[in-house]
Amino acid sequence: MVDIDLNSVPSVNLKIIFGVHFILITWGIQGHWSPDSYLFYNLVFILTLLWGVHCKDKAEPVQIAMLIDGVSVLLDIFAIGMNSPSVYAGEKFSVAMALLNLALRPISVVMLGRICADRMGLDDGFPARFGNLFGEREHRGPYEDIERGSVPSRQHQNIPSTETADFTPTYH
């Protein structure tokens, strides 16, 4: 059996993933065979990729794009299988591009997982600890009330406080 180390896959820029899927989805919807659902979930996928390109420091857009990309594998199989093309060359080309897009989706899921792991600061990469991609990023301690510090400190002793101020009304 071949031992494949997915951590050796280079981290590809999110813009390249966007560009490849954008071209293949555009060519895939050229024919009359593609249902509206194919356009819808691919449009949502493209929008989440753009969201991930825009928010470079957040992992959530990449997590959502990875989830949509994974589910789209099944949706593509149903869309292509249920809407078999006619004999026209344009239709066959459109389906061929949709099939190529389908073949590249598992690869892009792995690449999106790597980008997500990098953004979250996970050292062991993807998919070694897949559960951490959708969980908490860090373990936070209990809530600390900043108004009630453990040691009351006054840097300026001559500033009056409400405890020492005289609020009795003065009448002139």
> Domain span at residue 81?
12-134
Task: Kindly state whether residue 161 falls inside one of the protein's structural domains.
Answer: no
Q: How many domains does the chain have?
A: 1
Residue 32 in any domain: the answer is yes
Tell me: the pLDDT tens digits for 147-158? 655 555 555 556
Residues 6+ apart with CB under 8 A from 33: 83, 84, 85, 86, 91, 94, 95
Q: What is the pLDDT of residue 92?
A: 85
Structural domain includes residue 152: no
- Specify the higher pLDDT residue, 172 or 55: 55
Whether the per-residue pLDDT at 46 is higher than 60: the answer is yes
In a domain, 103, yes or no: yes
Q: Which of 29, 11, 2 is closest to 108 using CA atoms?
A: 11
Among 52-56, 72-76, 112-116, 124-128, the least confident range: 124-128
In a domain, residue 68? The reply is yes
Sequence-distant (6+) residues with CB within 8 A of 54 are: 61
CA trace torsion 71, 32, 98, 70 (10° rounding)? -10
Q: Is residue 3 part of a domain?
A: no
Q: What is the pTM of this model?
A: 0.64
pLDDT at residue 115, rounded to an integer? 87
**Residue 60 in domain:** yes
Note whether residue 117 is domain-resident: yes
Contact assessment for residue 41 and residue 75, using Cβ atoms and an 8 Å cutoff: yes
